[in-house]
Chains A and B, each alone.
Chain A
Amino acid sequence: MVNITYDACKISSPAGSIIYTDDSGTQTIYQNGDIAWTLAGTALVFIMIPGLGYFYSGLLRRKNALSMIYMSVMTIAVVSFQWFFWGYSLAFSETGSAYIGNLKYFGMKGVAAAPSIGSARIPALVFAVYQLMFAAITPMLALGAVSERGRLGPCIAFVFIWSTLVYDPIACWTWNSNGWSFVLGGLDFAGGSPVHISSGSAALAISIYLGKRRGYGTERLAYKPHNTSYVILGTVLLWFGWFGFNGGSALSANLRAAMACVVTNLAASVGGLTWMLWDYRIERKWSAVGFCSGAIAGLVAITPGSGFVGAPAAVLFGVMAGTICNFATQLKFVFGYDDTLDIFASHAVGGVVGNVLTGLFAQASVAGFDGITIIPGGWLDHHYIQLGYQLADSVAALSYSFVMTTIILWLMHFIPFLRMRGSEDAEIVGLDEYDMGEFAYDYVGLEQEIGHDIETKMSEGMTTGGREPHHEHHHNVDENSLEKGLGSPA
């Protein structure tokens, strides 16, 4: 039996608060409301992950639609196991180093009623399951970069390894009270560095390692989301869950959580409108995909600052993210990498924008909304060195994630069945057919993919999943008529 009791009904206190007594006799009281909000936050962050899957899926071509949705739930599964196995311990053990935890909580042994390292207002077990969802969403953010040209089998191993070697250390630096960034005084409420900068950098590393998709630069790959309603559905699930992501990071149902919800919603709204307005000038159209991208950029930027900034600052976070991330999508053309889903632009650049703005606009008064937290604040509090801490944080996460992800990918490259790059034929046929044997829909037209000028290399032993292995394609297809979706291939 865990060593807790319940207090008696007292005037001006709720009956049934949990009282935990540790070995030395010190008592900690846990408010049920705090636990309730954190557990609700757990479910909210959970649903962001399939939301990501739908968001990414809608932006790709139909033949790869299912792979992204599948990867989101696969990631939840792999990280849930990894977190239980050693992930929580490596990130949040109180007895580790400044860079990584230890295996004290291997298999979640001993994680129970003691106050968590994140906040003494909730027990460690609640904190562990809540943090699990953060650990689960981060690799999925990065995995968007394998879109259309990765191999799904090695992705499973990649998620496990990347979580252990990249996410857990960076989370430890940021949120573990021993972590060097935490000790230094970097302000990161809900994960600018561990979640967004790390995954954005990793996505860049993956994009560079995998190289460009087949047909890159041609009309075939011109920006063409196959299902914009999925893009919006994914954005909606992300935005919905973000109330738990930022609001729940208060680890308590208090004023700071409420303020985090306010600034989160405001940054998303303004970010969406800003990006959409920037896109309006190009074609005089109101772009839903632009709105969604901007909303997500705003959410990314406000993430580190959500427990530190006021509502007017949140408006600026939205404007800056919606603007800078919009233009950052052009970086891939400048530097020549194929970041299909603009993850580096939204998450790495967005995370850096958020970290920097947090350094400027963090206020001790807002952090103190929980009645407990005391910080020196940011530039508004004349604490100018804060920007330095934020930059240190950002640069460390950017570089560590990029380098370590590249190392992981190349190690996997030389292990026979773990190579991440899909073959050209896999790209032609699509990941859904090639790796999954299932499609997202009952109609996925492949004729226009297969029957055109670039010859299918049958001689390299390609199989089409056992279907018609000697089928030859004689289609003389009019590319233009197919692009418009009119008529049928000859």
Chain B
Amino acid sequence: MVNITYDASGSIVWQDPDTGKIFVYNPGDIAWTLASTALVFIMIPGLGYFYSGLLRRKNALSMIYLSVMTIAVVSFQWFFWGFSLTFSETGSAFIGDLRYFGLKGVLEKPSIGSARIPSIVFCIYQLMFAAITPMLAIGGFADRAHLGPLLAFVFAWSTLVYDPIACWTWNSNGWSFAHGSYDFAGGTPVHISSGSAALAISIYLGKRRGYGTEALAYKPHNTTFVVLGTVFLWFGWFGFNGKRTSFLGPELALNITGTKGGSALSANLRAAQASIVTNLAASVGGLTWMLWDYRIERKWSAVGFCSGAIAGLVAITPGSGFVGSPAAVLFGFMAGTICNFATQLKFVFGYDDSLDVFASHAIGGIVGNILTALFAQASVAGFDGFTVIPGGWLDRHWIQLAWHVADSCAGVSYSFTMTTIILWIMHYIPGLRIRVPEGVEIIGIDESDMGEFAYDYVAMEPELKGVSYVSSVVRRESDPESLMKERHSSASGSNH
């Protein structure tokens, strides 16, 4: 029997046997955290549908599948050592240790994120953040990656990239946390890390076949999937940002009598405020991006709206527990604008980031981090009744911007470098090489790696039109050199 009791009103009471300190867990906090766990969970398949809708029909299923595969692999990795490496209290400033290997001992003690909830609740909630991040990066693999090696990639990347960065940001020993960066729900660990990783992946894999031609001109095969995915993401984001309110900054004292500011109910004002700013940033971001696109063709673009909404959500993520509602409007506007134009970077620098993950998440995350430094307010952070911070530029705490820039740079560079290292190590292990040969790109990942399509009708003629050598290409998929020779000697002149 776990050593807990109930007080007169039914709250859970645990006493630390070593120090005698008493911790009271409010079931309301636990209920909202568990509900938020489910909310963040459903963001991940939402991502899958979003990405899938933007790609071509022949690759539609692979993205949706990758989203649920990522949940599965990270769920196991988190149980195995991920939670321990990220959130162990006895690790270093850069990475945890294996104290909680297999979730042993993770139960009733106050979590490292907040003394208001037990560590097991914190663990399952954080798992969902760990699960969504690699899926964001997986957008960089679109159309040209073998699915088998991605199982290993997700496990390795979670361990080597996500866990350290999350430790720096949210573990009370982490260097970024210790010097006072405000990252409420994951601008750096989730968005900047995954966006940078997607860039590294895009560069490593090289361009898709047919890049620059009409065949690959932006053409989402299913815009209703794009909207459905955006909806799941926006819905879940209330749990992504709205929950973090219980997580305390470094200045928090474990004041468990809850007398500050009245009843514990006032702690939820911060959660409510986070929900408000999240929704506002998404809305304004969506409208902004859509309006920027309107000037091009005088059309109201649903895909533009969805991209803008997501950019707004990404940007508000680090600031959601620190900024007021007017600032949230600015977050949405800046993200909708800057990320929109950032999608042109891939043309400037010549990398094929099919789904603009770097533009939305890395750039969006940096925008969010910087705006948080400018607009974070001690008064808003104090909406939970106990958090005390110096604030940002609005509070004349000018150095905050430097911390956030440091945070962002560290996240971008570490993720980019480590992801590239992981990819190249996998390159030289037989069976783990990710890049698919040209023949597989032609027939599509769904057919070649899955044997299933998303729909019962997936027209292959437009893909195969003019490609007279396709059957020999498929047979020779393991021999790219002879394939290239054959292609150059063939007179098919296809533009695929």
Q: Name A's B-contacting residues (CB within 8 A).
A: 7, 9-17, 29-34, 36-37, 40, 44, 62, 121, 224-229, 232-233, 235-236, 239-241, 243-244, 247, 252-255, 257-259, 261-262, 265-266, 268-270, 272-273, 283, 285-289, 291-292, 295, 311-312, 315, 364-365, 368-369, 371, 374, 485-486
Number of A-B pairs whose CB atoms are under 8 Å? 234
Grouping DSSP codes into helix (H, G, I), strand (E, B) and loop, the A interface class, with mixed when no group exceeds half, is helix
Assess A371 versus B4: contact at CB under 8 Å? Given A253-B27, A288-B452, A311-B79.
Answer: yes
Least Cβ distance of A312 to chain B in Å?
A: 6
The answer to whether A17 and B108 have CB atoms under 8 Å apart is no
CA distance A109 to B10 in the complex (A): 28
Residues of A within 8 A of B102 (CB): 311-312
B12 beta carbon closer than 8 Å to chain A? yes
Q: Which of B57-65, B190-198, B242-250, B329-337 contacts A (4 or more CB under 8 A)?
A: B57-65
Residues of chain A within 8 A (CB-CB) of B75 are 265-266, 268-270
Q: Are A262's CB and B123's CB within 8 A?
A: yes
11 A-B pairs within 8 Å (CB atoms) are namely A12-B11, A16-B263, A31-B10, A32-B28, A40-B38, A121-B10, A229-B64, A240-B38, A243-B41, A255-B4, A285-B451
**B residues 68-122 touching A (CB-CB < 8 Å):** 68-69, 71-73, 75-76, 79, 102-103, 107-108, 118, 120-121
User: How far does the alpha carbon of A13 sit from the alpha carbon of B265 in the complex, in Å?
Assistant: 10
Residues of B within 8 A of A17 (CB): 9-10
| Cα distance, A369 to B8, chains bound together (Å) | 19
Whether the pair B1, A262 counts as a contact (CB closer than 8 A) is no
With a cutoff of 8 Å between Cβ atoms, the chain B residues found around residue A7 in the complex are 9
Known interface pairs A14-B265, A258-B120. Does A232 touch B45 (Cβ–Cβ under 8 Å)? Answer: yes
Known contacts A34-B10, A262-B103, A288-B64; 12 additional CB pairs below 8 A are A36-B35, A229-B52, A232-B45, A232-B68, A252-B27, A258-B120, A262-B120, A270-B72, A285-B449, A287-B450, A369-B107, A485-B458
Contacts of B71 in A (CB 8 A): 239, 265, 269
Q: Report which residue of B7, B10, B60, B75 has the largest number of chain A beta carbons within 10 angstroms of its beta carbon.
A: B10
A258 CA to B453 CA, complexed, in Å: 36
* A254 touching B147, Cβ below 8 Å: no
Q: Are B30 and A37 in contact (CB-based, < 8 A)? A: yes
Interchain CA distance A14-B29 in the complex, whole Å? 11
B residues within 8 A CB of A229? Answer: 49, 52, 60-61, 64, 225, 454-455
B495 close to A (CB within 8 Å): no
Q: Which residues of A contact B1 (CB under 8 A)?
A: 364-365, 368, 371, 374
Q: Is the CB of A13 within 8 A of B8?
A: yes
A291 touches B9 (CB 8 A): no
CB of B128, distance to nearest CB on chain A (Å)? 9
Residues of A within 8 A of B148 (CB): 286
Using A29-B9, A31-B10, A374-B1 as known contacts, say yes or no to A288 and B65 having CB atoms under 8 A apart.
yes
* CB-based contact B26/A14 at 8 Å: yes
Given A11-B259, A33-B30, A228-B452; A240-B42 close (CB under 8 Å): yes
Q: Are B76 and A257 touching (Cβ within 8 A)?
A: no
Q: A229-B60, A288-B450 are in contact. Are A486 and B34 (CB under 8 A)?
A: no
Contacts A11-B258, A229-B225, A272-B68: A265 and B127 contacting too (C-beta < 8 A)? yes
CB of B31 within 8 Å of the partner chain: yes
Contact flag A227-B42 (CB < 8 Å), given A253-B28, A254-B30, A291-B72: no
In the complex, which residue of chain A has the Cβ closest to the Cβ of B72? A269
> B35 contacts which chain A residues (CB < 8 A)?
36-37, 40
Assembled-state Cα–Cα distance A245/B30 (Å): 16
* Nearest A residue (CB) for B108: A255
Residue in B30, B127, B148 whose Cβ sees the most chain A Cβ within 10 Å: B30
Of the listed residues A225, A235, A288, A291, the one surrounded by the most CB atoms of chain B closer than 10 A to its CB is: A288
Interface residues of B in 460-488 (CB under 8 A from A): 461
Cβ 8 A contact of A33, one of B26, B49, B457: B26
Give the distance in Å from the alpha carbon of A315 to the alpha carbon of B80 in the complex.
Answer: 10
> Closest B-chain residue to A261, C-beta based?
B124
Which parts of B417-476 form the interface with A (CB within 8 Å)? Answer: 449-459, 461
Q: Kindly provide the distance from the CB of A99 to the nearest chain B CB, expressed in whole angstroms.
A: 32
Is A243 in contact with B37, judged by CB distance below 8 angstroms?
yes
A121–B27 alpha-carbon span in the complex (Å): 11
Closest 10 CB pairs between A and B?
A33-B27, A13-B9, A33-B28, A37-B31, A368-B1, A269-B72, A285-B451, A253-B31, A269-B75, A253-B30
B265 / chain A contacts, CB cutoff of 8 Å: 14-16
Contacts of A32 in B (CB 8 A): 27-28
Q: Are B41 and A286 in contact (CB under 8 A)?
A: no
CB <8 Å contact, B31 and A10:
no
Residues from chain B with a CB closer than 8 A to the CB of A259 are 107, 120
Say yes or no for B393: interface residue by CB 8 A criterion: no
Closest-CB distance, A219 to chain B (whole angstroms): 15
Minimum C-beta distance from B158 to chain A (A): 13
Chain B residues near A315 (CB, 8 Å)? 76, 79
CB-CB under 8 A from B450, the residues of chain A are 285-288
Known contacts A37-B34, A288-B61; decide if A228 and B10 are in contact (CB<8 Å). Answer: no
User: Which chain A residue shows the least CB distance to B60?
Assistant: A229
Question: B467 to nearest A CB, angstroms?
Answer: 15
- Of the residues B5, B120, B453, contact of A371 by C-beta under 8 Å: B5
Cα-based distance from A362 to B263 in the complex (angstroms): 39
B333 → A minimal CB distance (Å): 32
B264 within 8 A of A: yes
B256 at the interface (CB under 8 A from A): yes
B138 proximity list for chain A (CB < 8 A):
none
> B455's closest neighbor in chain A, by CB?
A227
Closest B residue to A366 by beta carbon equals: B2
- Give the nearest-CB partner of A232 in chain B: B64
How distant is A256 from chain B, measured CB to nearest CB, in Å?
A: 9
Assembled-state Cα–Cα distance A44/B34 (Å)? 11
